[in-house]
Chain A
Amino acid sequence: MKKIDPAFNYAKKLTCPFCSLGCEFNLILNDFGIKGVDYLKTGSSGGRLCPRGSAAALYLGHPKRLSMPMKKDKVIEWPKIAKELNKIFANPEKLAVTFDRNITNEEYELILSCCHANGIENVASCYLEPESALAEFATRNFDPGDLGSPGMVVVIGDPFNQSPLFSKYIIDWKMSDRKNRLIVIDSISTHTASFATEFIPVSIGAEPLVVYALAQEPGIKTEDICKVGGDCIKEIAGALKAAKSGLIVVSLPFGHIYDPGALADSLHTLASASGKNVLPLVEHIAPAGNIPFGDLLAKNKKGNLHYLMNFGELFPYYYPQLSLEFKFKDIYATSPLRQQEYNTIPFALNLEKSGTIHTNYGVKKLSGGIVPASGARTVHQIIEMLDIKKNGKATVRKYEVKYDRSARISTLMDKSTTAPKKKSMMLLGEKIAFDFMNIFEKEILKINPADAHENGLVDHETVTVESKRGKNEMEIKVTNTVPTGIIAVSAENAATRGLFDFEIVEGSVYFIPTEVQIWRKG
């Protein structure tokens, strides 16, 4: 009998689907399962991997991977779930089909063509991360030629934590010439800010206003929203326009600003005023649907929609505050992990699929070289098991969004300059690659030393945080990087994300900085 050698490892080259950089790495396997990741010496990242990429093997073999369909907390057989899905697809006027991330381009096409073939009109993207407002910029590929010397890079947010692999480009560029200027705009001090030539600290959610000011948009009093005077903003705007080469880099965490739509508009304005390109660093680039998700919610409230079927990874588990608004009779959703409150269908990760994804370096192929986890199915396999029409047109009806710039600017000015109520603090989202899906560590709440002292809190203490949307407990870290009155957290689990309030602006759902109260646990 042939002996199995446990030391016999083999490697499969995969493309990391966890952000828009699409780095490559080797997954090491043997006959007993996944051993880990290894680092290539080639590819767009030069073999390097951020914490998300290093977590790939742990995510693939996550102990909570779902292997059977679940009807809330009970296991249900595949034929039974197929029967239930056939039933809801038989009523297209009462069904909403949504999709979020962890889906390949080919799977999006299949979902859209199926909806078209079966007469389903209510098709929406429920990838409600603020970065979805930047999707139109993401279709343009990153050109390293934009980082010439001498040059200027304006950064909005914290790309060093959003996409750490991009930091090498920026740091190398900055160190190559003393004349290169790196301008960082953010409401909290970040690692990216610590590398900045000039850091512009702004009040909460005021990033779009500063970008408008850099684009010389009239009616913005910069003194009210940032600690930098109008003359300084004018000088930076002039220097950006005059710079031979330059780039506007943006990364947008969950719950960090009030109006991602306004940020997208302001970036358009700045790009055309300065002649520089915009590079968004995002986690996923998802297409839009037939209708905005906010309109779909409104239809559901009126009682016109009874069922929802979601393909993806996030919805509805990672938006618990939205679930409270639902009036659906039943929600079916795919998920790679067990989520006991909903009807779930085991879903393969993009790492396990073949197909293509959009990245900052163009469309990249997923190798699909590994077998999906036990029971996990792709969109093709799920749709294949249903008795529905499959050959429609993979097109969406584009919806127009009205945009009243002056009204949005004045609303933003009001929000950014309004102080929170007494004894309340503003909860702000940030993006930390190391906290990805809480695989390595649970997220930590950052608080200013003055606020910690006022609340009688010390470093590493567990506190209760409560907003009007929810309540959660987490550990605090006392640090000067957040200003007084603000607490910041990387929203990587459902309980933390559920703390954030949301607004529906012209059909788009925005998760916004939220007023919260904190106190010592117990």
Chain B
Amino acid sequence: MAKRIVLDLDLCCGCRSCEAACRAAFKGESRIRHADVNGQAYIPFACRHCAEPLCVASCPVEAITINEKTGLVIRSSNLCIGCRSCAYACPFGVIDAPLVRHVSQKCSLCVDRDDGPRCVAACSSGALQFLSEEEIEKHEIGMRMQSKHRFFRRRA
């Protein structure tokens, strides 16, 4: 099981360093999005790299595929025809519907970078972490979660 980005809501200070890091690396396109919680906090959210992704199922040209080794859901910009099916199929709304250079934008967990995603490296308060499932189980962060599945939510 590959590592995943985990957000510790208690630590997020809403500075959007993660979004800035993503935009700076991908020519102004942000692959991480934010939910504005009543102006009090910006909650970042990115692709969850689902086990059974609906974006993959919805893609008419098989531009989105799952890497069997790492479990990453990767979009090929060469194959993408910009139909937005993935954006509408994603139940979490993490794929932006507006196209950038005629293709959809989707987080790839910065596979091009050896030290993990840039948003995690940049996170100013340490709220974003890049952890494997075992680490999440052991980590305090896992204790705060309602679900130990990939779709983390905080306990109410």
Range of interface residues on chain A? Answer: 35 or more
Contact of B15 among A38, A51, A172 (CB under 8 A): A51
Interface residues of A in 17-71 (CB under 8 A from B): 36-39, 41, 45, 47-51, 53-55, 57-58
Given A50-B20, A440-B23: A164 and B38 interface contact (C-beta under 8 Å) = no
Given A39-B122, A171-B11: A51 and B16 interface contact (C-beta under 8 Å) = yes
Contact of A175 among B10, B25, B113 (CB under 8 A): B10
Q: Is the CB of A191 within 8 A of B41?
A: yes
Question: Within the assembled complex, what's the spacing in Å between the Cα atoms of A195 and B15?
Answer: 13
Residues of B within 8 A of A481 (CB): 38-40
Contact pattern, A 377-398, Cβ under 8 Å of B = 1, otherwise 0: 0000000000000000000000
Residues of B within 8 A of A47 (CB): 121
Q: Is the CB of A48 within 8 A of B121?
A: yes
Given A48-B17, A49-B17, A51-B16: A164 and B124 interface contact (C-beta under 8 Å) = yes
Q: Is B118 an interface residue (CB 8 A)?
A: yes
- What's the minimum C-beta distance from A184 to chain B, rounded to whole angstroms? 13
Given A168-B125, A168-B126: A51 and B17 interface contact (C-beta under 8 Å) = yes
Q: Is the CB of A165 within 8 A of B124?
A: yes
- What's the minimum C-beta distance from B9 to chain A, rounded to whole angstroms? 11
Q: Which residue of A lies closest to B30 (CB)?
A: A440
Question: Within the assembled complex, what's the spacing in Å between the Cα atoms of A317 and B115?
Answer: 40
Contact of B39 among A164, A189, A192 (CB under 8 A): A189
Question: Within the assembled complex, what's the spacing in Å between the Cα atoms of A54 and B23?
Answer: 9
- What's the minimum C-beta distance from A156 to chain B, rounded to whole angstroms? 17
Residues of A within 8 A of B39 (CB): 189, 446, 477, 479-481
Q: Is the CB of A37 within 8 A of B24?
A: yes
Q: Is B13 an interface residue (CB 8 A)?
A: yes
Residue positions of A touching B, CB distance < 8 A: 36-39, 41, 45, 47-51, 53-55, 57-58, 160-161, 164-165, 167-168, 171-172, 175, 189, 191-192, 194-195, 433-434, 440, 446, 477, 479-481
A-B residue pairs in contact (CB < 8 Å), sample of 30:
A39-B21, A47-B121, A48-B123, A48-B124, A49-B122, A50-B20, A51-B19, A53-B122, A54-B21, A55-B24, A57-B24, A160-B13, A160-B14, A161-B14, A164-B13, A164-B17, A164-B124, A164-B125, A165-B124, A168-B124, A171-B11, A171-B13, A189-B40, A191-B40, A195-B13, A440-B23, A446-B39, A477-B39, A479-B38, A481-B39
Residue positions of B touching A, CB distance < 8 A: 10-11, 13-17, 19-21, 23-25, 28, 36, 38-41, 113, 115, 118, 121-126
| Further contacts, 17 of them, CB under 8 A, given A50-B20, A167-B125, A434-B16 | A36-B25, A38-B113, A39-B118, A48-B17, A53-B122, A54-B20, A54-B24, A168-B124, A171-B125, A191-B13, A191-B41, A192-B13, A434-B19, A434-B20, A479-B38, A481-B39, A481-B40
Enumerate the 9 nearest inter-chain pairs by beta-carbon distance, A residue then B residue, closest first: A51-B20, A164-B15, A479-B39, A39-B121, A481-B39, A164-B124, A54-B20, A167-B13, A434-B16
